[in-house]
Structure 1
Amino acid sequence: MHLVPRLASVVLTLGLSASLVGCGFHLKGLSPTSIPVAYPHMKLNLPSEAMHVTDSNNNMIPQKNTLQIKLKSYLSGYGIQFDDAKEAYTLHVLDYHYRRQKLSGRVAEVILYLNVTFQIEDAQGRPVTTPRSINGVKSYQYNVASVNVDDNEQDAVISILIDDVAQQMARQIATNRLPHIQPAPASAPTVTP
């Protein structure tokens, strides 16, 4: 008795859902790609240290995965265009500090630190957001007897560290989760009697 009305409601619901999906109707979600981009055009202003990677002896390590390349890749994926538009915002990296710490022993442990402080500036160079720091830490171990393993592993871990920091920066910029600078309150005029 109750089977026919239930079956009819299920068929009607499925048919209505299929017709809505077929005509292009989609519910709005909260995925990063559905959020309007707050900074549609952008330029990068990075210190020279962010353009390449150096080892503990200040020798340049050839890297195809610098912070600049990674940021452009991830932010472009969020819909941000890198061009010289006159209304383009600037992603200004204020501080880029890479540090390598080696702990000695039978098996050496190396800890790599990367600290990046950045802010967004408008086309006139005025800060739009307060400076934000992103910290990344990665470590690896190697046997002291096999020196080449340290160099190869270090290059891979540095690349992962830069990638991790760039992803964090891109997510915060694309989702507009950076604290904005509050305009200074207007001072009240003084009244003289």
Structure 2
Amino acid sequence: MHLAQRLAAVVLTLGLSAGLAGCDFHLKGTNTSATPLVYDKIQLVVPREAENLERILSTHLSSTGVQLSNSNDAYVLRILDYKPVRQELRGTLIEVILRLSVTFQIEDREGNPITQPRTLTGTRSYQYNIATVNSDDQQYVYLSKILIDDVAQQISRQIAANRLPKAQVNTQAPTQNNSSVTLRNP
């Protein structure tokens, strides 16, 4: 490369980098200050069938700065629904579609919802030939792990970015019935 071409490449690279920085672009890292202070301590409550999600989710939450704790001042991240689905489409090749749907919400220690329930879904698919049965089992196990990891990352990113809608509080005052006598037929 000639000196002029190298200089042009350096100037172009610096110009593009400055442009990205100017529009507030930055790479996502493990900045512990990115987690809102209200969710800095969380206790995980997951159904028995979601043990793999619990392990991976705790790793992702810890990397965003959330402290997993059972203390009285910790919020509760409750997995309300964990639904893995496997669907097979048969033809010359068999296509398998894996779906994982997870519904969660954040609650206080008394079980009062802080956020509205949020459902996240991940999907993966693969094909295999029925003559190679072993590849189906290997692909299923591998893609199931990736699917759980994807959903756990989505949950931890939404908590870290505080993108969860707040639970709606019932602000209506209880209505009282003005009549105190109820008429009944004998």
Identify the TM-score tier after normalising by the shorter chain: 0.7 to 0.9
- Aligned partner of 1:89: which letter? Y
- Aligned partner of 2:88: which letter? K
In 1, the alpha carbon distance for the partners of 2:169 and 2:71 equals 25
In 1, the alpha carbon distance for the partners of 2:107 and 2:129 equals 46
In 1, the alpha carbon distance for the partners of 2:163 and 2:115 equals 10
Say whether residues 1:112 and 2:111 are aligned partners: no
Deviation at 1:85, TM superposition (A): 1.4
Structure 1 runs (4+) greater than 2 angstroms displaced = 29-38, 182-190
In 2, the alpha carbon distance for the partners of 1:88 and 1:77 equals 17
In 2, the alpha carbon distance for the partners of 1:152 and 1:30 equals 33
Matched ranges for 1:48-59 at <5 A = 48-51=48-51
In 1, the alpha carbon distance for the partners of 2:111 and 2:88 equals 39
In 2, the alpha carbon distance for the partners of 1:85 and 1:31 equals 29
Aligned identity (percent) is 47
Q: In structure 1, which of residues 140, 159, 168 is the aligned counterpart of residue 154 of structure 2?
A: 168
For residues 139-161 of structure 1, what are the alpha-carbon distances to aligned partners after superposition, in whole Å with 9 as ceiling and x for unaligned?
A: 00111100000000110010110
- Aligned partner of 1:114: which letter? L
The CA RMSD over aligned residues, in Å, is 2.4
In 1, the alpha carbon distance for the partners of 2:64 and 2:163 equals 14
- Aligned partner of 1:123: which letter? R
Say whether residues 1:129 and 2:115 are aligned partners: yes
Matched ranges for 1:9-24 at <5 A = none
In 2, the alpha carbon distance for the partners of 1:189 and 1:112 equals 48
In 1, the alpha carbon distance for the partners of 2:54 and 2:174 equals 45
In 1, the alpha carbon distance for the partners of 2:170 and 2:128 equals 53
- Aligned partner of 2:100: which letter? L
Give the secondary-structure state (helix, strand or coil) at the position aligned to 1:130: coil
Look up the match of 1:39.
39
Q: In structure 2, which of residues 90, 114, 127 is the aligned counterpart of residue 141 of structure 1?
A: 127
- Aligned partner of 1:131: which letter? P
Look up the match of 2:61.
75
Give the secondary-structure state (helix, strand or coil) at the position aligned to 1:116: strand
How many residue pairs align between the two structures? 150
Q: Which ranges in structure 2 are unaligned for 5 or more consecutive residues?
A: 1-25, 177-186
| Distance change in 2, residues 1:30/1:127 (3 Å) | farther
Give the secondary-structure state (helix, strand or coil) at the position aligned to 1:148: helix
Q: Which ranges in structure 1 are unaligned for 5 or more consecutive residues?
A: 1-28, 52-65
- Aligned partner of 2:49: which letter? E
- Aligned partner of 2:56: which letter? K
For residues 111-151 of structure 1, what are the alpha-carbon distances to aligned partners after superposition, in whole Å with 9 as ceiling and x for unaligned?
A: 00110000000122111000000011100011110000000
TM-score calculated relative to the size of structure 2: 0.74
Say whether residues 1:157 and 2:156 are aligned partners: no
In 2, the alpha carbon distance for the partners of 1:153 and 1:102 equals 14
TM-score calculated relative to the size of structure 1: 0.71
